Chain A
């Protein structure tokens, strides 16, 4: 494997030379590119045919949060060892079966990956390295929840190669955290950030949640200011979404969940969209902010609807043709893997047009939108002729805009993204 050196901060340059600047035909190729937009654009093109992103799901948590609909289970410590071993087994299988190139991103999501002993994470990383290979600039992210990780563990993870930490802060207000059923307080979040810095993490992301029961716009502002004061490289601001079959879902059905009024929610969004840029964090996706160049590459891959590998219970992988979901129960997952049976419980094969539409929907989540050229390239379809009058209408209503090569949501369109996407899906 040969890695070329290119301009500083170049994302594409961190890939093998397959699609690097100068070797692909794209008009933004520029050796000395410092421009985020361009870098992301190159990155897109570089990834076109690669499976160089790997997601690993760790379905364990201290306890289940009241709003959580992710694949995660409280307790089950007795399974940890077996689960880790099984992940490695699946990695072997993947290495043997799936077309892939050395990994450029690896993401431990959950659940609460930080709940696993550092040695386990380290073992998984080594396994992936040996079986799948890493590119030199690989981004290895791990989701950590305050209260599950101390300085020693952080330092060990850093040494094991984890170079991006995403901390599930959600809120700094203990009262709010309690209502959410989170297993930690605000103080613990601050400590985790401090320890992470000390352990050498220079790419930190914080997760915050707005629109919490009883939360005022001011309360949100305090949370956000606190988060920004910690100078994270990346920030995800999600709005609490109530899902069926969660404690919050049931409360809502009984009319017992008092969520902030829409006006308050809009005010919260405004606060977010003012304070983040002021602190140097640019909005690059509907709910994600980053210092230029420190966008989450693993997630960008999702938004570009590019292929990705996956391991673990509940994880979803995508190879541009098939999207496969693995069963959720970690014990069953281990059993089936051990007996050599299939762990895939859902498989989806989208046709060209459906994939095209899906790629647009996902891409519109990015502030810079989707590249029309690239869509043309990938699907031989053009949004203008494909959607015809629907697209014209959305443009004339100031929801979408086409500028040069990119189709994107306008600021107005961003607040009504679901409406727009529901027309295009």
Chain B
């Protein structure tokens, strides 16, 4: 156990976590050059396409240190985006230490701080690492000062590296071995294994990722899940090498996987404790903090036949993404579906894409909403996160909406623009200070609903990418809400309804009309799009009728080419939902919340 180190790499988005992981994997010789590719641990297509990490990913590396001993390093690469901080916190629960990566050119950003706090909550030892020192714009000395002054960390412990060139990476491995603690725990005690992640495999059942806190586990053992007493026989245990690698046993301090033929998806719950049936431990581990879903949207299959498939898909996906919640829902326009809760808009998009890619179900997501508290005249209290359940306005005594406290880090020159943005978004109680010369930390209380509405995109574009942002839920405050409906050719499309502040209703309505006009392709007839509040039209646009769609080109004998073009057109149609007789593309449903690009 003395030769084990469990650590996470944490940082703000894009500061180079996955690239550093690559270098470590290569240094430890865990993988042949032929199999290697950049950001190796970003194994999902969607991660590779977007160039960001979405899932925490564990890999166990053998490292021969300068002191001659061989260590078993368990590295966890984590995501940097604010929507996936739940991934980070679960990953941290399997570790004793963390590398806090900071981009030498960008310096400390909002998620640098947020992730540092997470690591501190988990009592981890932290090694600060300044990355990207190869960049011409790198300012390692300045960043080192920030680390000392702003984070209050010992400058002696700072490591410098370039994850790109590999410079300094070996020194980091040495620091991990020398400064991070080995796990503690009793290999001979009763088994306590913390489930921190899981994945469903159609052949082997659930692949349970766990950290063994105490005791040992091996194939043949009978285990129970402490939350529901479900009982299984262990088929295989092992480590996450480049591929899964079976081991004779896992014992205290190790991070690995358990296969026990678990086909009932709901039996495995991240945060739960696994113990042995014959020698159970006295009590379960504390598990994880409940996550707070902040954005809600309904998911409908484009083809109604896919409903049952969607239900199973959501269940399996939830196993791998514990932050997702869902329950049944239905819509006049879209049929049966599920109301889901997400950690943010990016989380929502990722779930949509994963459902489509991993389970091959084309979907429609309705306009996202936050959770409101309605207090009715008759004294009842109603929580509403779905515009469909907006109460009759005359019965409403008052309504409250969630506010967040936002922390925004920006270069000083953008201060004015950010201030304006926050004011437009009904921000209150703005404060700011200068954590370091030239940079401002700006904090502000904002309605959450204003933040999910393209706030992050705006912030990015206003600051040309130099602004970063973090937030936490703060409180509920009185609000004045109306329900904004969208009519397409006179037909109300419930999936496009949203709850908005009365003050913004008109402009949101117009915005929605404009966005839909952009997203809905012209059809053989004219389409009228109207925004309405309680029967009053507040905005309208029309999409003119398409006048022709016919290819008058000579293809000679190359019939396949013509056919393939038509097949492409057909595939595009599959991603559309027909409402009335208008075909609305999938993208249109979310577009009403986005700013024009």
Interface residues of A (CB under 8 A from B): 55, 109, 207, 236-239, 241, 262-263, 265-266, 269, 286-287, 302, 305, 308, 310, 315-318, 323, 325, 348, 358, 361-362, 397, 414-419, 421-423, 425
Known contacts A263-B547, A302-B557, A415-B547: does B552 contact A237 (CB below 8 Å)? yes
The residues of B that contact A265 with a CB separation of less than 8 Å are 547-548
The residues of B that contact A418 with a CB separation of less than 8 Å are 549-551, 566, 569
Interface size on B, residues (CB 8 A): 22
For window 559-581 of B, CB contacts with A under 8 Å fall at 559-560, 562-563, 566-567, 569-570, 573
In whole angstroms, how far apart are the Cα atoms of A316 and B547 in the complex?
Answer: 33
Contact of B548 with A415 in the complex, beta carbons under 8 Å: yes
Contact of B547 with A266 in the complex, beta carbons under 8 Å: yes
In whole angstroms, how far apart are the Cα atoms of A272 and B554 in the complex?
Answer: 17
Q: Is B524 an interface residue (CB 8 A)?
A: yes
The one of B550, B557, B566 in contact with A415, judged by C-beta atoms closer than 8 angstroms, is B550
With A422-B569, A425-B569 given, can you name 6 additional A-B contacts, CB distance below 8 Å?
Answer: A239-B553, A241-B553, A265-B547, A361-B563, A419-B569, A423-B570
Known contacts A361-B563, A423-B570: does B550 contact A317 (CB below 8 Å)? no
If over half of B's interface residues share one DSSP class (helix, strand or loop), that class is named, otherwise mixed; here it is loop
- Ordered by A's residue number, 16 sampled pairs between the chains whose C-beta atoms are within 8 Å are A207-B554, A241-B552, A286-B550, A305-B559, A361-B566, A397-B524, A415-B549, A416-B524, A416-B550, A417-B551, A419-B549, A422-B570, A423-B573, A425-B567, A425-B569, A425-B570
The residues of B that contact A358 with a CB separation of less than 8 Å are 559, 563
Q: Is B141 an interface residue (CB 8 A)?
A: no
> Closest approach, in angstroms, between the C-beta of A119 and any C-beta of chain B?
25
Q: Is B152 an interface residue (CB 8 A)?
A: no
> Closest approach, in angstroms, between the C-beta of A72 and any C-beta of chain B?
12
Known contacts A315-B557, A358-B563: does B549 contact A417 (CB below 8 Å)? yes
The residues of B that contact A397 with a CB separation of less than 8 Å are 524
The residues of B that contact A315 with a CB separation of less than 8 Å are 557
The residues of A that contact B550 with a CB separation of less than 8 Å are 286, 414-418
Contact of B552 with A318 in the complex, beta carbons under 8 Å: no
The one of B548, B554, B560, B573 in contact with A269, judged by C-beta atoms closer than 8 angstroms, is B548
Map CB proximity to A onto B524-546 as digits: 1 under 8 Å, 0 otherwise.
10000000000000000000001
In whole angstroms, how far apart are the Cα atoms of A325 and B555 in the complex?
Answer: 13
In whole angstroms, how far apart are the Cα atoms of A332 and B10 in the complex?
Answer: 55
Which single residue of chain A is at the shortest CB-CB distance from B561? A316
Among A207, A266, A310, A358, residue most surrounded by chain B Cβ atoms (within 10 Å): A358
> Closest approach, in angstroms, between the C-beta of B526 and any C-beta of chain A?
14
Q: Is B438 an interface residue (CB 8 A)?
A: no
Contact of A302 with B524 in the complex, beta carbons under 8 Å: no
The one of A266, A286, A362, A416 in contact with B552, judged by C-beta atoms closer than 8 angstroms, is A286
Contact of B566 with A310 in the complex, beta carbons under 8 Å: no
Which single residue of chain A is at the shortest CB-CB distance from B553? A241
Q: Is B558 an interface residue (CB 8 A)?
A: yes
> Closest approach, in angstroms, between the C-beta of B583 and any C-beta of chain A?
10
Contact of A425 with B566 in the complex, beta carbons under 8 Å: yes
The residues of B that contact A423 with a CB separation of less than 8 Å are 570, 573
Which single residue of chain A is at the shortest CB-CB distance from B566? A425
The residues of A that contact B563 with a CB separation of less than 8 Å are 358, 361, 425
Q: Is B437 an interface residue (CB 8 A)?
A: no
Contact of B557 with A317 in the complex, beta carbons under 8 Å: yes
Q: Is B416 an interface residue (CB 8 A)?
A: no
Contact of A302 with B548 in the complex, beta carbons under 8 Å: no
Closest A-B pairs by Cβ, 3 of them: A287-B552, A422-B569, A417-B550
In whole angstroms, how far apart are the Cα atoms of A404 and B569 in the complex?
Answer: 30
Q: Is B286 an interface residue (CB 8 A)?
A: no
Among B557, B558, B559, B562, residue most surrounded by chain A Cβ atoms (within 10 Å): B557
The residues of B that contact A55 with a CB separation of less than 8 Å are 556-557
The one of B524, B546, B552, B560 in contact with A239, judged by C-beta atoms closer than 8 angstroms, is B552
The residues of A that contact B566 with a CB separation of less than 8 Å are 361, 418, 421-422, 425
The residues of B that contact A237 with a CB separation of less than 8 Å are 552
> Closest approach, in angstroms, between the C-beta of B574 and any C-beta of chain A?
11
Known contacts A358-B563, A422-B569, A422-B573: does B557 contact A318 (CB below 8 Å)? yes
Which single residue of chain A is at the shortest CB-CB distance from B558? A316
The residues of B that contact A305 with a CB separation of less than 8 Å are 559
> Closest approach, in angstroms, between the C-beta of A113 and any C-beta of chain B?
12
Contact of A308 with B557 in the complex, beta carbons under 8 Å: yes
The residues of A that contact B560 with a CB separation of less than 8 Å are 316, 323, 325, 348
Among A207, A237, A316, residue most surrounded by chain B Cβ atoms (within 10 Å): A316
The residues of A that contact B546 with a CB separation of less than 8 Å are 262, 416
Known contacts A317-B557, A418-B569, A425-B567: does B548 contact A262 (CB below 8 Å)? yes
Which single residue of chain B is at the shortest CB-CB distance from A53? B557
Which single residue of chain B is at the shortest CB-CB distance from A308? B557
Which single residue of chain A is at the shortest CB-CB distance from B571? A422
In whole angstroms, how far apart are the Cα atoms of A286 and B562 in the complex?
Answer: 14
The residues of A that contact B557 with a CB separation of less than 8 Å are 55, 302, 308, 310, 315-318
Which single residue of chain B is at the shortest CB-CB distance from A240? B553
